[in-house]
Structure 1
Amino acid sequence: MKDSARLFEFQAVNEDTVKRMFAAFDPKASITYILPLMKGMSTSNYAVRTEGGNKYVLRIYPDNNDHMRTETTAYQYAKARIRTPEIFFFDDSKQIVPFSYLIMVFIEGSTLGDFIAGNEGCPDYVMHRIGSSLALLHQTEYPHMALLDEHLQIAEQLEPFASQYYTLLNGLAGTHIQASTKEK
């Protein structure tokens, strides 16, 4: 998979649109800096700095994969168990712009993908920390594989995990990997 591969088109917004989106969160905010963060695969993200030096992520959700409410609920659920980025504001009314978006704290650092590429792999201690955090998050058991709604309740039951391999590899996910990888 190429670094530039995206599942959903990047939503380009201009400075005026970003200011209107932020005004719903903080009408007094004076934006001094807007930078597109192109590494995402589905959401469109921007680093935004305000006059006071605060730095935020503006995350815009694609219309055909709008999971903002589910993601926001998942962060709230996770916050009781692990450190999570603080979400300051979210809007799915589509009154300001025709898509859902949220504003959250910007955390300085590199992505996990960049860390792995820079270290030619992932050290065991990092994998252990990730696994420990995931174990804390997955304390809730569901009777079967399912998609969850914004309240983390079952919204749609999924096919058994083993058959998902074939569905995913022959669907949208499979279009993003090479045929030899799918075969393996």
Structure 2
Amino acid sequence: MSQNNYRLFDFESVDTESIHAIFSKYNNRLLIQNIVPIIAGMSTSNYIIEARNKKYLLKVYPKDNDHSDIEIAAYKYAHNIIKVPEVLHFDNSKAIIDNTYAIFQYIDGFTLREYVSKNKGFSNDVAYKVGSMLALLHGKEYTCTALLNVDLCIKNQIIQFQNQYEFFLDGMPGRHLNEKVKRDLGHFIDANRHLIERISEKNVFCHGDFIPSNILIDVYESPWFIDFEYCFSVPCYYDIGKLFRSRENYSQYIDDKIKSNFAKGYNAMSQRTLPDDWYKLSKIADIAVMLALINKENIPRDWIEGIEEEIIETMNL
């Protein structure tokens, strides 16, 4: 499923003078030597900042979609249990630029997607570690599907996960889908209601955007999780389904052994082990997640076609 270079929010260009002012506020003894914009991404605008023998990541949040407070809270929570970059400085005063920004520890390595493409797969050890870290992240349970506040407590309930399929099919996503795909999906949901109920049994703290590009593999082949701005309370299969969604130069290398080692790692650290059909449940869960992606008026046609292909593949499992 390709999303090309489409961004949800425009890249925020921050001039050199402002970046120097930002880092002077963090540490006025730093001597910045190089600034490298990272154009890839969908929401935030990121820059690699090189200062002598050390690198930093500057993350600038979009004005109209500022989830910085919840993300910083999530990083602080996750930092105590798994590997995530350290938050070095956070500023939402908008005194220097008109955006909230944060400075993070820079992790040298590849995204999991780059790593898999480069190595034609990934080791059993990496799969196990990703699974075990995700289970630890999912250790915080909630009573319902909900948005969270800065204390990572329930802020307000949203449509419960088991009801999201019909909600999206009756709304904008359903209008985007091919009529046959929409009709077949409706039948599929009716026929698999018992599985959807199982998916929805437990809500946990979820990353919310657990795609291979948000997992870094460092030089020691240790995973790090990044980008928590969309974290919320939802069934664990939300994250798992996103991780195993079909992607070019990625999915063809995800074999049964990698899935097995991921599950072993997850089960080793989870209070509730994944059932034998966890992969099937995660793929069904991901249907609702993909429908949410097209829950707006203007969506690139290749996104819709890619989602239709993935839905058809899941229905044929």
**Letter paired with 2:15:** N
Are the equivalent residues in 2 in contact too, given 1:168–1:174 (CA < 8 A)?
no
Q: Secondary structure at the match of 1:151?
A: coil
Structure 2 distance, partners of 1:160, 1:148, is: 14
Q: Decide which of 176, 179, 182 is 2:304's aligned counterpart.
A: 179
Higher helix share goes to which structure?
A: 2
Per-residue CA deviation, residues 115-170 of structure 1 (Å, 9 max, x unaligned), is: 23334455554333212101111111111111112211112212122443526154
Quick one: structure 1 residues 169 and 16, their matched pair in 2 at CA, closer, same or farther if it must change by over 3 Å? Answer: closer
Deviation at 1:80, TM superposition (A): 1.4
Q: Structure 2: which 5+ residue stretches go unaligned?
A: 169-290, 312-317
Q: Secondary structure at the match of 1:32?
A: strand
Quick one: structure 1 residues 170 and 124, their matched pair in 2 at CA, closer, same or farther if it must change by over 3 Å? Answer: same
Residue number in structure 2 paired with 1:4 = 5
**Letter paired with 1:89:** H
Q: TM-score, normalised by structure 1?
A: 0.88
Residue number in structure 2 paired with 1:56 = 56
**Letter paired with 2:106:** F
Higher relative contact order (CA 8 A, sep 6+): 2
Q: Secondary structure at the match of 2:143?
A: coil
Structure 2 distance, partners of 1:64, 1:35, is: 24
Deviation at 1:113, TM superposition (A): 2.0
Q: Secondary structure at the match of 1:16?
A: helix
Structure 1 distance, partners of 2:9, 2:120, is: 28
Root-mean-square deviation (Å): 2.2
Per-residue CA deviation, residues 30-61 of structure 1 (Å, 9 max, x unaligned), is: 2111000122221111000113x221000001
Does 2:28 match 1:27?
yes
Q: Larger C-alpha radius of gyration, 1 or 2? A: 2
**Letter paired with 1:47:** I
Quick one: structure 1 residues 173 and 182, their matched pair in 2 at CA, closer, same or farther if it must change by over 3 Å? Answer: farther
Q: Secondary structure at the match of 2:141?
A: coil
Structure 2 distance, partners of 1:161, 1:122, is: 31
Residue number in structure 2 paired with 1:16 = 17
Deviation at 1:172, TM superposition (A): 4.1
Large movers: runs of 4+ above 4 Å: 120-124
